[in-house]
Chain A
Amino acid sequence: MKQLVILSGKGGTGKTSLAAAFAHLACDGPMPLRAVLADADVDAANLELVLQPCSLEQHEFMGGSKAIIDPAKCEGCDICTQVCRFDAVISPRPNWARGAQGGEGYHVDPIACDGCAACVYQCPTQAIHMEPQLAGHWFRSESRYGPLFHAALRPAHENSGKLVTLVKQQARLLGLDEGYQVVIVDGPPGIGCPVISAASGADLAVIVAEPTAAGIHDMRRALETTAHFRVKSLVCINKADIYPAGAEQIDAYCREHDVEMVGRIPFDATVTEAMVHGEPVTAYRPAEPASQAVRDIWHRVAGHLNHRESKT
């Protein structure tokens, strides 16, 4: 079973729209591949909006813990404030009396708290303990193009990549159990842990680049990241006609770095219309320029998937 991940570096280049179209083409297109879908963009998960899945299971995801100070045991020695490197301990107001009940004594800002527990171990009166946090949920759903695994991280919670890894793992386990041929992973923007988790173990990455100054800059960083983690990458250009010189720059970069360019998608308002309509663009208006371009790209990507030795 193969793993395909769709990345970009820059946000908003069209990863999710492409992932949805791939899901549709893998299912209904001329080169069918049985696919499990995974939305790895757990803090802004959008794939379900164009796949309209039915929810089957929901699970809690516990994240890191946060420190809580017991005011009854706190003697105001200030060690926790000095030890904390995340500015998470809030000192009390000047007229707060040590050992007093009520009023604002020493307390921890749960948003700033990193969960390191240094304060717990250094507190001389054991007044601090850690409490695990519900960080989000992950879901198993069924879409018309295949099973979908996705998640919703609670806003302001830590996204260290663990939830991404969990979503992919679940997709992979189901895929292996039921004989699917590929896991299609809709990746997050950026290049940090969530992206690294999304890309790890992938047989192939498709980088969706946009031909803008920012898009080209971030595509390079995305390619450096996949190279660093030894994931073979292909590049496609979305909204290619917005800045033809930019598209040429991307072509030149790919040639220089021996990265295959698998297609150009023209700017096409149909993509947004399809999104509003809740469908992949290739299903919504198959004859439009964007859909044709995406079909060609899928043809090449599927060809690569069929020829690669699987990593799993």
Chain B
Amino acid sequence: MRIAVASGKGGTGKTTVATSLALCLAADRTQTQPAPDPPLFLDCDVEAPNAHLFLKPTFERRQEVGLLIPRVDEARCTHCGKCAEVCQYHAIAVLGKKVLVFPQLCHGCGSCTLTCPEHAISEMPDVMGVLESSTADSGIHFARGVMNVGEPMATPVIRQLKKWAAPKPDQVVIVDAPPGTSCPVVESVRGADFLLLVTEPTPFGLHDLKLAVQVGRELNLPMGVVVNRDGIGDGGVDNFCETEGLPILMRIPFDRAIAEGIAQGQPLVDIHPEYRVQFQEMLMRIAKGVSGSAEQITSDESIPLFEATILDFKRKLTQGRNRKD
């Protein structure tokens, strides 16, 4: 089962809720025989990852992540311009007798490489961040991506994180999504079985919750809401949830002690252990809300990971073509 925790608005408490969910799952598994796999926590907020401050993992595996960008062999290039013609992002340009590649615009799609009639283009990795994961000694298997400062695109880092830290078939996955409602959030949340939306009962919270709900609907996900800092604003969020039939699975009242504890990197269920029961109840309700045979996302060996080169692609392509003949 994969639960994605998102919000729309930043700062509503996604990481607070996600980390506490993971801690409750980790504690629970010691109560069951045989013990299930430890939960996998994926921090997908690769631009500003914070979950490590609460779960304090020891990172053991590290891998650079990035895109495969084109490299042109000037000796074979005839400057026909076909590469530039097919590139939808204007990341490769032919100017007179020079070919320029703009890595920051490149999406690593490989189209130019496949198109070049002279086979003058090969691909090379362009590092944009790092993936890190821990063992599950603490009871939680933690993985995250950290995008390098100055890089424009978070989505490829998130996409590769999900493949690199693929869960075991029965492992419960908690995804901590970034704020917003666009590509990085969609990539983080895609493939989840349940979307848990954390909001605050204010006009900003409500406005962005509505957008996040639309994302959930686009992706056809069952959804539930956690109202954090309950009591600080107005009843708009409650009214909206009622009208839309969105279950409010938990309320966390505003409490300065919580704010101060979170400020110091203390997980919510450590500040207020009595909340564990509520988190466990919420997990059970989520599990019931998810259909019985939820598909697990596993690592697909045929999808090239970062290390693969275009030669693998072309080989598969040729094999594919030969198979069909």
Contact = CB atoms under 8 A, between A and B. Distances in A.
Q: Do chains A and B touch in the complex (CB under 8 A)?
A: yes
Interface of A: 9-13, 16, 43-44, 46, 49, 64-65, 77-79, 82-83, 85-87, 111-112, 114-118, 121-122, 130, 153, 155-161, 188-193, 195-196, 210-215, 217-218, 221, 224-225, 228-229, 239, 242-243, 245-246, 267, 269, 272, 275-276, 278
B107 A217 contact: no
B152 A155 contact: no
7 contacts: A82-B316, A114-B107, A114-B109, A118-B86, A192-B153, A214-B15, A267-B259
Given A49-B204, A212-B262, A191 B110 contact: no
Interface in B39-73: 47-48, 50, 53-54
A246 B115 CA distance: 54
Interface string B208-219: 100110110011
Given A85-B110, A159-B180, A276 B259 contact: no
Contacts, number: 211
A240 to B, nearest CB: 11
Nearest to B204: A46
Contacts of B181: 43-44, 153, 155-156
A212 B190 CA distance: 30
B111 A191 contact: no
Contact of B324 (A78, A211, A239): A78
Contacts of B127: none
A191 B204 CA distance: 21
Nearest to B111: A118
B128 to A, nearest CB: 10
A117 B207 CA distance: 34
Q: For the side of the interface on B, what is the size category?
A: 35 or more
B179 interface: yes
B154 interface: yes
Contact of B50 (A82, A157, A218): A218
Q: Is chain A's binding surface mostly helix, strand, loop or mixed?
A: loop
A192 B202 contact: no
Contacts of A44: 8-10, 179-181, 207-208, 211
A99 B31 CA distance: 55
A195 B48 CA distance: 12
Contacts of B203: 46, 49, 275-276, 278
Contact of B263 (A12, A157, A190, A212): A212
B107 A188 contact: no
B322 to A, nearest CB: 11
Contact of B183 (A65, A159, A229): A159
Interface stretch (B143-151, B238-246, B277-285): B143-151
> What are the 4 A-B residue pairs with the smallest beta carbon separation, nearest first?
A12-B11, A11-B10, A116-B109, A159-B182
A189 B180 contact: yes
Contact of B303 (A11, A87, A225, A239): A87
Nearest to B48: A218
Contacts of B263: 210-213, 215, 242-243, 246
Contacts of A157: 182-183
Nearest to A46: B204
A65 to B, nearest CB: 7
A287 to B, nearest CB: 21
Which of A118, A217, A242, A276: most chain B Cβ within 10 A?
A: A118
